[in-house]
Amino acid sequence: MIVKRSPAKLFAALGFSLLLTACGSDTAQNPVIGSLVQSLPTLLSGKAAAEAPSADQIRSRLTPEVRAQLGNVALKIAVLEKDNRASVLIERQRNRDVVTYFTPDGISMSYKSGVLVGTRGLGFDLMGADVGDVLQSLRSGRDGTVRVHRYLDGEDQIVLRSLVCDYTGSGRITETCYSDGLEIKNTYQMSGGRITASRQWIGPEQGYIRLEPAS
């Protein structure tokens, strides 16, 4: 059974408790960091929808000094477009070319060389994606690439959705994919052959998520 959680509540929960945990007990007990965290409750904690912090507001608080005090953990910012909710993302796992980030309240997003391959905790999650050919096409511009997404249905059965994708651009690549009357457009900002920022489709219910630099 899928448990649908409210994106408004999930992405508004921007406390630094998980960041402190990620930095280790020594950092968490640092009185300087404790004071710093307590000084930001109006921005980095759960808020009403009308007051939820934007990506720019979050980014403005993640100064080099703050990042250093937090142990220089790798950070990104995610924005779920359907509700315009922003959250800090903390890199917690790396398995070869797949990096998994967590929000402070435990939502996870996994990226394979910058291409989204899974989410957990949003509800109607992307359980997995085959994107090997997508990565090759992002480098070569080859059209007609097939990507395969996996979702859970209401009976906990895996449902596959295949999409055929074409590519345009170089520094900023647009990936246009089609499947059974559905059209999606993912965009990737490229630098030195690497994806530095992106807007990617999770699925029909959650729509698009943007991954942005934290600085």
Judging by beta carbons within 10 Å of its beta carbon (0-12, 13-18, 19+), is residue 31 exposed, middle or buried? Answer: exposed
Q: Please name the residue that has the structure tokens 């797949």.
A: 98
Spatial distance between the Cα atoms of 129 and 161, rounded to a whole number of angstroms = 9
Q: How far apart are the first and last CA of the chain?
A: 38
How confident is the model at residue 16, as a pLDDT? 35
State the residue for tokens 């096409």.
137
CB 167, CB 138: distance < 8 Å: yes
Alpha-carbon distance of 81 to 185, in angstroms, equals: 14
Q: What domains appear along the chain, each with residue ranges and CATH number?
A: 7-213 (2.40.360.10)
* CA gap 177, 167 in Å, rounded: 9
Per-residue pLDDT of the chain (215 residues; tens, 9 = 90+): 434 444 344 333 333 333 333 333 333 333 433 333 343 333 344 444 456 678 888 888 888 887 787 678 888 999 999 988 888 888 888 999 999 999 877 899 999 999 999 999 998 999 999 999 999 999 999 999 999 999 988 788 899 999 999 999 989 999 999 998 899 999 999 999 899 999 999 999 999 999 999 88
Please give the Cα distance from 84 to 80 (Å, whole number): 5
Residue 214 confidence (pLDDT): 87
CA–CA separation, 209 and 118 (whole Å): 12
Please report the pLDDT score of residue 51 as a whole number: 61
Cα–Cα distance list, 192 to 100, 108, 116, 141, 170 (Å):
22, 27, 19, 15, 11
Q: What are phi and psi of 28, to 5 degrees?
A: -60, -30
pLDDT given at position 35 = 39
pLDDT the model gives residue 115: 98
Kindly list the distances between the CA atom of residue 29 and the CA atoms of 26, 72, 176, 191, in Å, as whole numbers in the listed order.
5, 16, 48, 38
Q: Do 163 and 137 meet the contact criterion of CB atoms below 8 Å apart?
A: no
Q: Identify the three-state secondary structure at position 17.
A: helix
- The pLDDT assigned to 203 comes to 94
In the prediction, which pLDDT does 127 show? 96
> Phi and psi (nearest 5°) for 43?
-105, -40
Residue 65: Cβ within 10 Å count: 9
